[in-house]
Chains A and B, each alone.
Chain A
Amino acid sequence: MENRNTNWLANLKYLLVGALFGIVFVKAEIVSWFRIQEMFRLQSFHMYGVIGSAVLVGMISVWLIKKFKVKTLNGEPITLQAKQFNKGQIYGGLLFGFGWAMTGACPGPLFAQIGTGATVIVVTLLSAIAGTWFYGLMKDKLPH
C-alpha cells in the first residue's frame, strides 16, 4: 500500500511537466489548427521555428547527457533506446501526416485542445484511440 502511494507521488512530477508543456502548447498556438494549416502551406515560419529549436535544444541536451553520463534524480544511468527502422515509419508516417493536417493536431495537442474547452475534440481523441486499437488488431497483417 505504501509502495502504491509513493508511486502516485512519484508520478505527479510527470503531471507537472505535462501541465507546463500543455501551457506552452496553448500559449505558442502549437495546438491551433490554423497554425498547422499555415505550416503545411509554407505561410508562416512559426511552427518550423518551434520544432527546429525544440529539436536543437533536445539534441544538445542528449549530447550533454551522454558526454557527462548524467544520471537520473534517483542515481540510475540514463538509457536511450535506438529506433529500429521498418516500413511502418513510411506508411504510418504518411497516414499520420494526413491526420495531422486534417485535425490540426498530433496526439499531444488533442489533450490540450480538450483542456481549452473544445469538448468535441473528445470525439477526435476517441477516434485516435480506436485507430491505435485497430493497428493493434491488424499489426501482423500490415507490411512492416
Chain B
Amino acid sequence: MLDFIKEPWPWYIAGPLIGLTVPALLILGNKSFGISSSLRHICAACIPADINFFKYDWKKEVWNLFFVFGIFLGGIIAIQFLADPNPVQVNVKLVKELGEYRIANFNYLVPIDVMSWNSLLTLRGFLLMVVGGFLVGFGTRYAGGCTSGHAIMGLSNLQWPSLVATICFMVGGFVMANLLLPVILSL
C-alpha cells in the first residue's frame, strides 16, 4: 500500500481529490477555494503602507493563511515520508529541448540547473525566479484569482469571467513556454 502511495499519483486520482477541496471548504466553513488571496492577506498584515487595497480586516481571512501553511506542511510530509526516489518522468522531447539549455537534472520538482541559490544571480535564474514570481503575484491579483480561484472554483460555479481568465492564463503560458522561454533559457 505504501509503495503504491509513494509512486507518482495519476491524474484521475489527483484531479478529483483537488476538486473535492471545493465542497470541503464550503461545507467546513463557507469558504470559497482560492489561494492567491493569501498573498494579499500577507501584504495587508505585514506591509499595508496605507494603500486602500490593503485596508481591510485580514484577520477575518486568516483561514486562508492556515490553508497555505498547510500546503507548505503537506509538501514537507510528501517529501519526507511519501517520496518517490525516481526522477520525474518527462516527455523525451522536453528532455531533449531542455538539454540544449543545459538543464539536465530531473531529480527535483524544480530544475536545479536554473533554480537554486547559486543561479539566483545569473540572468536567466533571476528572470525565472524573481521576475516570474513578480508576474505570478501581480497577474493573479490583477486577474482577481489564480488557477484555484478562477480555473477551479470559478468554473465549478459556472462563472464566465473565470473562463475568460482561465483562457488568458493558458494563452500567456503557451506564449511564454514556446516563444519567450527559449530566449530566456538561452541567456
Contact = CB atoms under 8 A, between A and B. Distances in A.
Interface of A: 7, 10-41, 43-59, 61-62, 64-65, 70, 72-74, 76, 78-86, 88-108, 110-121, 123-137, 139, 142
Contacts of A111: 68-69, 71-72, 75
A83 B14 contact: no
A15 to B, nearest CB: 4
A88 B136 contact: no
Contacts of B77: 19, 22-23, 115
Nearest to B93: A43
Interface residues of B, number: 127
Contacts, number: 501
Nearest to B48: A136
The 3 closest A-B pairs by CB, nearest first: A97-B172, A22-B74, A115-B75
Given A32-B109, A100-B169, A121 B129 contact: yes
B184 A102 contact: yes
B43 A125 contact: no
Contacts of B154: 83
Given A100-B169, A102-B135, A128 B74 contact: no
Given A73-B29, A102-B184, A125-B133, A23 B143 contact: no
22 contacts: A12-B66, A14-B25, A23-B78, A30-B18, A32-B110, A40-B176, A51-B151, A55-B151, A61-B22, A83-B159, A96-B135, A96-B168, A98-B139, A103-B136, A106-B140, A107-B38, A120-B116, A129-B39, A131-B134, A131-B137, A134-B134, A136-B43
B172 A94 contact: yes
A88 B132 CA distance: 18
A44 B175 CA distance: 17
A120 B78 contact: no
A96 B9 contact: no
Given A14-B29, A92-B139, A104-B110, 4 more contacts: A12-B66, A57-B22, A115-B77, A125-B133
Contact of A97 (B40, B49, B156, B170): B170
Contacts of B162: 83, 89
B152 A98 contact: no
A107 B35 contact: yes
B168 A15 contact: no
